[in-house]
Amino acid sequence: MLQSIAQAILPAIAVCLVYGQTAEKQPAFDVASIKPYSGSGGGRNGGAGGGPPVARSGGGLRFMPGRVASAPIGVTARRIILEAFHLTQYQLSGGPAWLDSDRFDLEAKAAGANENQLRQMLQTLLAERFKLVVHRETKEMPIYYLVAAKNGTKLHEWKEGDPLPAFGSGGHPNNFRDRGTMQRLADVLSNGPEVGRPVFDKTGLPGVYMFYVEWNEGEEFLPAMQQQLGLKLEPQKGPVDCLFIDRIEKPDPN
């Protein structure tokens, strides 16, 4: 999940992106397979470990060192584009109906590639296999800044090798848990139905954290997040870099 989407606020510009037509070779996977989804699906859409349902129609992608693969329920072309360009759902427009209805099994490998490199390779795959052509424009829209609450955060930085805390002892029926950067949390919140607009990290916290929020039926997630994590969403309005689909085709199975 992640190139910072906070860097997506740029001066107004419209740039046509047609990959594969420049002299410079685009980064590509060593091997990549994408086929129509063949599984039976199942599972629920939600935040990692439960919690606020995340608007991830069509499954998602899992990024691992040197490898990216679709979720067990497959992945839609729209989700691949969102992940490749590291966008929120509000930053992508256009495309045919099958972008959200057709699912695919995707697995691709590139030895030694990190997550940002894998995303760039996904862009190349989209251009070559889906014949994707897009352009960028800047749109003024409502956004949120993820900031520390008045009395500061209640987070503790997690270091590699630290034991994982035991969560879930409060007995609340709803919970959200995740581990990652503040940008990771902003990404998850951006795709959650309770938020309804892009979220940009403005906490200034560079580390990796464990996130855990629990709440009762009838309560709302965002107030619980502010109380338990010391984080809040500050409404703003500003320019957001958006992607528009000019052309896309279904890929041949391979």
What are the boundaries of each domain within the chain?
Answer: 5-138+242-247, 140-239
CB neighbour burial string for 232-241, b if at least 16 within 10 angstroms, e if fewer = bbeeeeebbb
> How far is CA 79 from its chain centroid?
8
Instruction: Confirm whether pTM is higher than 0.85.
Output: no
φ and ψ at 147, to 5 degrees?
-135, 165
> What is the distance of C-alpha 91 from the center of its chain?
11
pLDDT of residue 80: 97
**CA torsion, points 16, 137, 55, 19, in degrees to nearest 10?**
10
| pLDDT recorded at residue 95 | 95
> How far apart are the C-alpha atoms of 118 and 110, rounded to whole Å?
8
Of 94, 69, 83, the closest CA to residue 123 belongs to 83
Q: Positive or negative, the Cα torsion across 18, 24, 27, 28?
A: positive
Give the distance, in angstroms, between the CA of residue 197 and the centroid of all CA atoms in the same chain. 13
Q: How far is CA 104 from CA 70, 74, 78, 90, 101, in A?
A: 8, 5, 11, 22, 10
Q: pLDDT tens string for the chain (254 positions)? A: 333 333 333 333 333 344 444 446 889 999 999 999 987 544 433 343 344 444 444 568 999 999 999 999 999 999 999 999 999 889 999 999 999 999 999 999 999 999 999 999 999 999 999 999 999 999 999 999 999 999 999 998 888 888 777 776 666 788 888 888 999 899 889 987 778 899 999 999 999 999 999 999 889 999 999 999 999 999 999 999 999 999 999 998 77
CB 236 within 8 A of CB 143: yes
CA distance 202 to 198: 13
Residue type, 93: S
Which residues, in sequence order, are bridge partners of residue 92?
A: 243
The rounded distance, in Å, linking the Cα atoms of 90 and 249 is 22
């420049």: which residue's tokens? 22
**pLDDT score recorded for residue 142:** 95
pLDDT at 171: 67
Position 159 scores a pLDDT of 85
**Confidence (pLDDT) at 1:** 35
CA 240 – CA 93 distance, rounded (Å): 13
* Residue 21: partners with Cβ closer than 8 Å, 6 or more residues away: none
Asked if 74 and 199 count as a contact pair (C-beta separation under 8 A), the reply is: no
Instruction: Fill in the DSSP letter of residue 206.
Output: -
